[in-house]
Amino acid sequence: MVRYVLEVMYDGTKFHGSQIQGTTPTVQLAINKMLSTLFRKPIETLGASRTDEGVHALCNYYQFDIEELLPGELLYKGNAILPASIAIKKVWKAIKPDFNARFDATRRQYRYRIYTSKNPFLVDKALFFPYHLAHDVLQETAAIIKEYDHFESFAKRNSQAKTFKCTIYQSHWEFNGGELHYIVEANRFLRGMVRGLVGTQIHAARGKTTSSGFRQIIEANDCTKAFFNVPGHGLYLENIVYPEGILENVKTT
């Protein structure tokens, strides 16, 4: 039995989230169906990161186990079977015997995109927010986030998380091609966490709370104090990092 890993990207607006939910259209269901069609038997996958409905991914990983040789045209055939809203970028082979796409990941990076001038080409690809935001407040709150490692206030109810501790490696805002982006990187994220961080920072940048108030929201350990009211379509899972030497790139066509 060999464990392979698909590196994929997808348009999250076409799915009801990434994780399997019975027959509800999700990213994982589409990948499972593709592999099952290709190998002519049921194949199930395990995803590295769960994304909510509407959330996009430039990089996510799905592992699966097979005894057969991997078809040389997996990349071509797999992409031909998958819907247009999902693409396989690369195929990897697990070198580590007990590799786990979720738990072996050491870092994950998300990006939230905001645009302020109406643009039909950004609909469902970023948040249209034509209102004033104090950019200095955004940078200040982003820096404050790095001071903490407990984020219960930014975990949606019924998240089933065993711990609310997260190590934040990056947290900052930047201008990018006329858009305003929030970039956050951590060892792990809680359910709804990035949208909660973005929504609450926007709340502060609109003058509706102070930097001290923002700290109080973090320290309250109460998700009813945070703001999750930003849509998923502005959010991108941008990168996942694994330790060197546990995955090997498989050359396919």
A 10 A CB-CB count for 186 gives 22
Structural domains for the chain: 2-103 (3.30.70.580), 107-238 (3.30.70.660)
Q: Pick the catalytic residue from 52, 98, 136, 149.
A: 52
Share the mean pLDDT of the chain.
95
> Does residue 11 carry a catalytic annotation?
no
pLDDT of residue 154: 97
pTM of the model: 0.95
Contacts of 166 (CB under 8 A, 6+ apart): 149, 150, 151, 186, 187, 188, 189, 190, 193
- Span 102-145, pLDDT tens digits: 999 999 999 999 999 999 999 999 999 999 999 999 999 999 99
Q: State residue 225 phi and psi, 5-degree precision.
A: -85, -20
**Contact predicate 105/242, CB 8 Å:** yes
Paired residues of 33 in beta bridges = none
pLDDT of residue 72: 79
R_g over Cα of the chain: 19
- Span 219-245, pLDDT tens digits: 999 999 999 999 999 999 999 999 999
- Span 73-95, pLDDT tens digits: 899 999 999 999 999 999 999 99
pLDDT of residue 250: 92
pLDDT of residue 159: 67
Higher pLDDT: 111 or 158? It is: 111
pLDDT of residue 158: 72
What is the rounded distance in angstroms from the CA atom of residue 152 to the CA atom of residue 159? 10
For the record, the structure tokens of 246 come out as 């546990």
- Span 29-60, pLDDT tens digits: 999 999 999 999 999 999 999 999 999 999 99
- Span 16-31, pLDDT tens digits: 999 999 999 999 999 9
- Span 62-71, pLDDT tens digits: 999 999 878 7
